[in-house]
């Protein structure tokens, strides 16, 4: 389980069915077999060195996320899983990406704030509500507006500077994970 609070921006060394990422902070306690979120996708570290880790990417991961779009030099959001003593600063994030969405606008609001609009698949609409949580590329965000299949969120200066959102542009694909609690509620209510 993750929180959607990005700890570090890593740099892709190798992309494809094996992903290698150069980083430092998340390596401090990363071991082979441990989970690590890359752009919000929960991966298993299969090799760990003093300056990078590698993970295998399954066909499902490549088809459902934007990790197949990565190339050497791409920047990625990294987060280690929570521990029992960790503060849950974002929201419950599994790292199980539902789909990708497409950036339709990233507009400056002033004072370093930005307004991000992302078109998400219509199939996810029932899990998204204004003031609810959504994870975009592994970043826990609050939905500020919904207009059909477009979700609007405010990006604060810290998030813009310390995540991949600062590199996004119209057309960029972002990994989308909806709130798992909404999915469980839907299933429980359907059984009634």
Model confidence at 23: pLDDT above 90: yes
Could you tell me if residue 1 is inside a domain?
no
Could you tell me if residue 41 is inside a domain?
yes
Model confidence at 44: pLDDT above 80: yes
Cα dihedral 16, 1, 177, 76 sign: negative
Could you tell me if residue 170 is inside a domain?
yes
What pLDDT is recorded for position 88? 74
| Those residues with Cβ within 8 angstroms of residue 63's Cβ, 6 or more apart along the chain or in another chain | none
Q: Do 129 and 172 lie in a common domain?
A: yes
Q: What is the pLDDT of residues 67-81, one digit of tens each?
A: 999 999 999 999 999
Q: Do 107 and 175 lie in a common domain?
A: yes
Q: Do 104 and 72 lie in a common domain?
A: no
Q: Do 107 and 150 lie in a common domain?
A: yes
Q: What is the pLDDT of residues 118-171, one digit of tens each?
A: 999 999 999 999 999 999 999 999 999 999 999 999 999 999 999 999 999 999
Could you tell me if residue 169 is inside a domain?
yes
Alpha carbon distance 96, 172 (integer Å): 20
What pLDDT is recorded for position 192? 77
> What is the reported pTM?
0.92
Could you tell me if residue 149 is inside a domain?
yes
What pLDDT is recorded for position 176? 98
Q: Do 14 and 44 lie in a common domain?
A: yes
Alpha carbon distance 41, 65 (integer Å): 8
Could you tell me if residue 66 is inside a domain?
yes
Task: Give the pLDDT band of residue 86 (cuts 50, 70, 90).
Answer: confident
Q: Do 173 and 113 lie in a common domain?
A: yes
Q: Do 103 and 183 lie in a common domain?
A: yes
**Mean pLDDT value across residues 45-50:** 97
Q: Do 120 and 54 lie in a common domain?
A: no
Domain that holds residue 41: 8-79
Q: Do 158 and 109 lie in a common domain?
A: yes
Could you tell me if residue 73 is inside a domain?
yes
Task: Give the pLDDT band of residue 97 (cuts 50, 70, 90).
Answer: very high
What pLDDT is recorded for position 91? 80
> How many Å separate Cα 46 from the centre of its chain?
20
Q: Do 55 and 123 lie in a common domain?
A: no
Could you tell me if residue 92 is inside a domain?
no
The CA distances from residue 4 to 88, 94, 110, in Å, are 9, 9, 24
Cα dihedral 181, 45, 160, 13 sign: negative
What pLDDT is recorded for position 89? 79
CATH number for the domain spanning 75: value is 2.40.30.20
As for how many domains the chain has, the answer is 2
Of 21-30, 115-124, 152-161, 178-187, the one with minimum mean pLDDT is 178-187
What pLDDT is recorded for position 112? 96
Alpha carbon distance 155, 131 (integer Å): 14
Average pLDDT, whole number, for the chain? 95
Please list the active-site residues: 2, 35, 42, 44, 58, 96, 142
Q: Do 75 and 106 lie in a common domain?
A: no
**Mean pLDDT value across residues 70-93:** 89
């Amino acid at each position: 389980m993750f929180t959607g609070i990005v700890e570090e921006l890593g740099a892709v060394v190798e992309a494809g069915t094996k992903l290698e990422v150069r980083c430092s902070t998340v390596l401090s306690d990363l071991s082979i077999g441990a989970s690590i979120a890359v752009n919000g996708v929960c991966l298993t570290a299969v090799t760990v060195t003093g300056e990078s880790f590698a993970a295998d990417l399954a066909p499902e991961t490549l088809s459902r996320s934007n990790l197949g779009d990565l190339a050497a030099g791409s920047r990625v959001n990294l987060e280690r899983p929570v521990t029992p003593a960790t503060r849950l600063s974002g929201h419950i994030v599994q790292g199980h990406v539902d789909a990708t969405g497409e950036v339709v606008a990233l507009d400056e609001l002033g004072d370093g704030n930005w307004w991000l609009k992302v078109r998400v698949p219509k199939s996810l609409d029932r899990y998204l509500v204004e003031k609810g949580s959504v994870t975009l590329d592994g970043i826990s965000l609050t939905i500020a507006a919904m207009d059909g299949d477009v979700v609007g969120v405010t990006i604060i200066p810290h998030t813009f500077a310390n995540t991949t959102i600062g590199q996004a542009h119209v057309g960029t694909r972002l990994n989308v994970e909806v709130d798992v609690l909404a999915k469980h509620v839907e299933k429980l209510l359907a059984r009634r």
